[in-house]
Structure 1
């Protein structure tokens, strides 16, 4: 109990946020809002932090208990179990989704001809070992590579700065379409809502009362790091070309020409980014297994780790026929499903507040 520090929370969730946006979300955000991406990040971050604040406020009511355990006291067992299973499936599906995106990325760009299941299988099995080791190991691993992530972002931004067209910067201030900004902010808010997972293992945190402050710091750092990559990419390619590139940031990194030594820097950066993806997959898989283990009244997640990993790998292979179908799911359903699943703690919060007021009124 109480083994995860607040600094580890900041580092892991910065990596958690950066891993998806840097690799897979720059194109969808550019498609949704173009040069308005700057305002999208700010608006989506504000909405996401509001979501997180309410969820953490609920967890602080019972800081020593797990939602998977005490939730039945709030809504009743017959509603509690299905709601928890929604979270179990969402976390498992999210880990499978990220795994599939990573698989498609690697096979298309670096491992052509490699069977798809090999890439996802290797990462999935590694994630199972991490889950068996415990959540503390996942957070410590994130803490260990955080400095490498910061250095890679700083180096990439500095190098892209020599290549960009500064005249395009005016687009960030002249393009302000409310409908486009809302569409992009909705996606960013859904990414922040994934952080509500912290509520599910709240008793494992040291100084849990400071959790929202730590997550706010992580949001500010994560937004800054993403903008350090997103803005130069838009300035380099423009809004229209960025929308038509499958992996805009990768193309931007490959565009860098800064001496013979640094012409092939993208494999090094991809290696660091792969580690970030691994951390996100591990945390999502752990949350899925942990909540299920609490429902089954198991003392440890270890008996379920490899079975859940196998299910994750299989789901990643079957969830879409190709990258186009996967991208359609991302833009049309994934964000809404994520907000619905991570809204479950808010539902408990609402019911718990109503019951508390009703009992208080009854006493008077």
Structure 2
């Protein structure tokens, strides 16, 4: 078996940010507006609170067993007969999620940048590039995430700052015309949208300071949600809730307003799409790597799990191409929402409760063996 790679807390933080901010965020405002209308801007702040609670339990569950990944500690907690289906389900979830992100990215590229290029070529190119980096291992992936995040994220946020003068406050009124329940219900259900935070179910053993997993995950998630709230609020403030429901890619539509006198790039919205697509690349890469490690190294004990990412590609490609049109993608991949809710909330809570009962005081004992970085 390969010597386990190690990443620092900062690298885990950047990996979290790069993996979670992907092209699907461009369309999040439309999905929320379809359900709660003018209260779209209220959902993400509440979603942040609910999801942070889920991330806290998930990371602290993993921190109870800092030398084990999900398959290892779930086998100790509930036995191998439950650990195997839970781990296989998690690997499938990551691969299906990679297919979903890759399909949305392909559709956005086709619609905005490469209209004459076959979708299969775009999809295959993205998957091959992601698999190449995933096969290099976790450390190169984490370093790539640092570079991609630092280069792209400030530029993306600058584009939304440029359109703030177009924002209208009356697009946020009236507040809660149908009461608070629809907003609270949707915000809680959207815990499933923190999909890539499930990577911490296997990342903790790779960290140089495992007891800092919650710090890396929490700070990363807060930064991510700051970006998401900025994007969604700007989209609603500029377009209005009713227009959001009919807009395919709200983020692209809004950034087109940044094309005013004084800009030196002719189509700045296409620059926005190009930058955002770069953030979809580490998402697909991280998910392919995670699926290969969990199945190859942890469950089946392969000497080198990394080539397994290339064997996954036909399955991911086939799954990504199954929806026949852009309109069918959302309904086809709907199964990811209950799966995400299960692996981010239901299963971690279930395992955590059993772990506390069976291994009382284990967190305190293990944390003492991994002191944090001295300051």
Residue 317 of structure 2 corresponds to residue 313 of structure 1: yes
Measured in 1, the distance between the counterparts of 2:270 and 2:311 equals 32
CA contact (8 A) 1:2 1:203 kept: no
Matches of residues 188-199 of structure 1 in structure 2 within 5 Å? 188-199=190-201
* 2:70 aligned with 1:76: no
CA gap 1:314/1:145 in 2 versus in 1, 3 angstroms: same
Distance apart, 1:247 and its partner CA: 0.5
Closer, same or farther: CA 77–297 of 1 in aligned 2, 3 Å = same
Are residue 304 (structure 1) and residue 308 (structure 2) matched?
yes
- Distance in 2 (CA, whole Å) between partners of 1:185 and 1:263 is 38
The gaps in structure 1 that reach 5 residues or longer are 358-364
Which range is displaced more, 27-36 or 12-21?
Answer: 12-21
In the alignment, which residue of structure 1 is the partner of 2:187? Answer: 185
Secondary structure in 2 aligned to 1:261? coil
The yes-or-no answer on 1:94 pairing with 2:86 is no
Q: Within 2, Cα distance between the matches of 1:49 and 1:219?
A: 8
Equivalent residue number for residue 140 of structure 2: 137
Partner of 2:337: 335
- Deviation per CA, 1:311-359: give whole Å up to 9, x if none: 21121112x22222212245x53311211234434433233333347xx
- The one-character-per-residue Cα deviations of 1:292-314 (angstroms, maximum 9, x if unpaired) are 01111113222312111222112
Q: What 5-or-longer segments of structure 2 have no aligned partner?
A: 361-375
Quick check: 1:254–1:263 contact (8 Å CA) kept in 2?
no
Q: Deviations over 1:146-200 (max 9, x none)?
A: 22233223321221113223443444x4657323313431453112254022121
Cα-to-partner distance string for 1:54-85 (whole Å, 9 max, x where unaligned): 11111111111223234323222222111110
TM-score (norm 1): 0.90
Instruction: Note if contact 2:101-2:284 (Cα within 8 Å) is conserved in structure 1.
Output: yes
Q: CA deviation at 1:127?
A: 1.0
Q: What does residue 120 of structure 2 align with?
A: 117
1:199-248 deviation digits (Å, cap 9, x = unpaired) = 21311012221221222212221121122222121111110001111101
User: 2:208 maps to what in 1?
Assistant: 206
Are the counterparts in 2 of residues 121 and 313 from structure 1 also a CA contact under 8 Å? yes
Aligned: 1:256 with 2:258: yes
**Matched residue, 1:291:** 294
**Which residue in the other structure is 1:272 paired with?**
275
113, 129, 134: which is aligned to 1:126?
129
TM-score (norm 2): 0.87
Q: Which residue is equivalent to 1:43? A: 46
Count of residue correspondences = 354
Taking a change above 3 Å as real, the CA distance of residues 341 and 60 of structure 1, as seen in their structure-2 partners, is closer
Q: 1:10, 1:218 within 8 Å by CA — same for their partners in 2? A: yes
Range with bigger deviation, 88-97 or 107-116: 107-116
Aligned runs of 1:153-232 on 2, under 5 Å? 153-171=156-174, 173=175, 175=177, 177-232=179-234
Q: Is the 8 A contact 1:26 1:230 kept in 2?
A: yes
